[in-house]
Copies of this chain bind each other. A is one copy, B any other.
């Protein structure tokens, strides 16, 4: 078991996962179902299939099947940019002078710059298989839109992206990458949809939110022949696809006989976190092993740590099904100074249920601390991290420093979801001392909770 651990552990192609793992299969209490906003009854497959591809609806609703085979075409695509490395952060450990062993699963080595491609390619594949013309979606920081445009280009599907306005303006280059892959990109809220016009009328000058952009993308999908809507986070299907992250991580750790003490991931809607922790949580649910599992969220958008666990709208326009989740209220829009990503008002229902049962922890961190950690990491590990990922870095460093105090050589594993190459405007603000740490007041949260639906 004392094999020397390389800086980067790469699985062989034949060691890559052949099936996704569905953590819901091992949950005693299943995540609460999506509800029809009109009838308040659980959404049926028939109802969902107007919005989502048929095969994805099946995955969304299936709480029992533990493993879904990854289709051969998707596995081929995965081989283009996977397995992603599990990196032993030797340089960071040295810099921190900690006895802890720090590992990170790095998902940024592809042009979308993040883990989002793992689900994008799956969703594009099922859309193509169903004979659709194209898909619509929203994107916040831009990673998901880029990932989806890459996936759609690969399968020759049309791709319409609604991009949260603040990101559209802060990240013009993201738009250009999507264009390279043939996607159309519209800043949201826009005048091109009913819901966009309504939101603009109610909140003139709004810089947008994921909730708004989702409403617009759904409206266009439902109103266009041969189109469906796809989503990059929150949904069960997305967490299923993202389990490839955790499965690879676990396989790499097992290969070297390493037992993780804690798994740390940033949490916006939950796509990375849910994927990363899936097999570890599975062991925990089955009573086979124990791990500390830590979600890290921005103090400016603190769904877990300050949210209500309740049914809520998934989007601002209230056109989507209701989901039970930790939520700040669908009307909640993070302050524009918040540096992109992790801006969603809610949280995956699956993760919400696990958190509610005490199977995982959550902490929130302020953004200047996040950027400090990001810069420290970049300087010793040679990767400029995405602000989203840097939330996990911050807490991993904190935990490593605790180990320094106690002298414990814990194994800390965190998810480095992506690179910050398109986040330099935020880095510049940080360097120029123009970044502040907005934290919503209790009054603001109360105000947005006032619109929670009665279920």
A interface residues, Cβ below 8 angstroms from B: 6-8, 10, 12-13, 76-77, 79-81, 90-91, 109-111, 113, 117, 150, 153-154, 172-173, 176-177, 179-182, 375, 378-384, 419, 421-422, 424, 427-428, 431
Provide the bound-state CA to CA distance between A61 and B421, in Å: 38
SS class, residues of chain A in contact with chain B: helix
- State whether A177 and B384 are in contact (beta carbons under 8 Å apart), knowing that A7-B80, A13-B6 are contacts in the complex: yes
Q: Which chain B residues border A154 with CB–CB below 8 Å?
A: 379-380, 382
Provide the bound-state CA to CA distance between A366 and B367, in Å: 45
Q: Which chain B residues border A173 with CB–CB below 8 Å?
A: 173, 421, 424
The smallest beta-carbon distance between A158 and chain B, in angstroms, is 14
With A113-B421, A182-B379 given, can you name 14 additional A-B contacts, CB distance below 8 Å?
Answer: A7-B79, A8-B79, A10-B10, A80-B381, A110-B383, A111-B383, A117-B382, A150-B379, A173-B421, A176-B428, A177-B421, A179-B431, A180-B375, A181-B378
Contact of A176 with B431 in the complex, beta carbons under 8 Å: yes
Which of B117, B378, B422, B428 is A421 in contact with, Cβ under 8 Å? B422
Could you list some 30 contacts between A and B, CB below 8 A?
Answer: A6-B13, A6-B79, A7-B13, A7-B80, A10-B10, A76-B90, A77-B382, A80-B382, A81-B382, A111-B378, A111-B382, A111-B383, A111-B384, A111-B419, A111-B421, A113-B421, A117-B382, A150-B379, A173-B421, A176-B424, A176-B428, A177-B384, A177-B424, A177-B427, A179-B431, A180-B378, A180-B379, A181-B378, A421-B421, A421-B422
Q: Which chain B residues border A8 with CB–CB below 8 Å?
A: 79
Which of B181, B378, B428 is A379 in contact with, Cβ under 8 Å? B181
Q: Across the interface, name the chain B residue whose C-beta is closest to A156.
A: B379
- State whether A379 and B153 are in contact (beta carbons under 8 Å apart), knowing that A176-B431, A384-B111, A422-B421 are contacts in the complex: yes
Provide the bound-state CA to CA distance between A80 and B104, in Å: 12
Provide the bound-state CA to CA distance between A113 and B113, in Å: 12
Provide the bound-state CA to CA distance between A319 and B111, in Å: 41
Q: Across the interface, name the chain B residue whose C-beta is closest to A87.
A: B80
